[in-house]
A and B are shown apart, each in its own frame.
Chain A
Amino acid sequence: DAGVTQSPTHLIKTRGQQVTLRCSPKSGHDTVSWYQQALGQGPQFIFQYYEEEERQRGNFPDRFSGHQFPNYSSELNVNALLLGDSALYLCASSLGQGVYEQYFGPGTRLTVT
């Protein structure tokens, strides 16, 4: 039973560039959430996707956007990268819209130079 997978593992980008991160949820899960974890901090909620729609959004600018595909996998896009976007980006999956434990992937470490 495959858990949550994310790609790539590490990424280095330059300020102003755009980046796409990918996530495949745990088998059987249909809900994907994205979190940003800055160094030494707890994860911060970016948004959640369910039924291919963004259901809720945290306090992040429109430069952060996402998408969910029919197979429930998801992408996180960040435009016009800033140095402050350097962080570990975590994807979590869960089943449905109830309060179930979220299963997290290993994350993508993004470094913006």
Chain B
Amino acid sequence: AQKVTQAQTEISVVEKEDVTLDCVYETRDTTYYLFWYKQPPSGELVFLIRRNSFDEQNEISGRYSWNFQKSTSSFNFTITASQVVDSAVYFCALTLMNTGFQKLVFGTGTRLLVSP
């Protein structure tokens, strides 16, 4: 069975601080995808990134960056120079490649509060 753990329930930072959201996953499969989604108060999950298990290269997109380390089964997400608009719940998710369909297994989420 697959499992995603987001140990940080809530993080509070002041605007312009950097913040890292942790994600640890468990799977016995060697081929899988990892995702990050953002859920603002409106409720709609917004896709941020997808990485496959073959590609451990870190990725940067503007103020967002992701660190994927298979050795520690972690896929951490860093927001640089946080802004108030970054306040939301962030979910890490996992799916297997070889099932023929896509079932996302989500963590419990980390609520990020960015104050001015």
Binding site for B on A (CB under 8 A): 31, 33, 35, 40-45, 48, 50, 55-56, 58, 88, 90, 92, 94, 97-107, 109
B55 contacts the other chain (CB 8 A): no
Establish whether residues A43 and B44, one from each chain, have CB atoms under 8 Å apart when the complex forms. no
* Cβ–Cβ < 8 Å partners of B81 in chain A: none
Instruction: Provide the bound-state CA to CA distance between A58 and B102, in Å.
Output: 12
Instruction: Provide the bound-state CA to CA distance between A109 and B43, in Å.
Output: 9
Establish whether residues B100 and A97, one from each chain, have CB atoms under 8 Å apart when the complex forms. yes
Within 8 Å by CB of A43, from B42, B95, B104, lies B104
B92 CB to closest chain A CB (Å) equals 9
Number of interface residues of B (CB under 8 A): 27
Establish whether residues B101 and A56, one from each chain, have CB atoms under 8 Å apart when the complex forms. yes
Instruction: Provide the bound-state CA to CA distance between A56 and B100, in Å.
Output: 10
What residue of chain A has the Cβ atom nearest to residue B31's Cβ? A99
Within 8 Å by CB of B44, from A56, A97, A99, A105, lies A105
Binding site for A on B (CB under 8 A): 4, 33, 35, 37, 42-47, 50, 52, 91, 93, 95, 97, 99-109
Establish whether residues A42 and B91, one from each chain, have CB atoms under 8 Å apart when the complex forms. yes
Q: A42-B91, A107-B44 are in contact. Are A102 and B102 (CB under 8 A)?
A: yes
Instruction: Provide the bound-state CA to CA distance between A102 and B4, in Å.
Output: 18
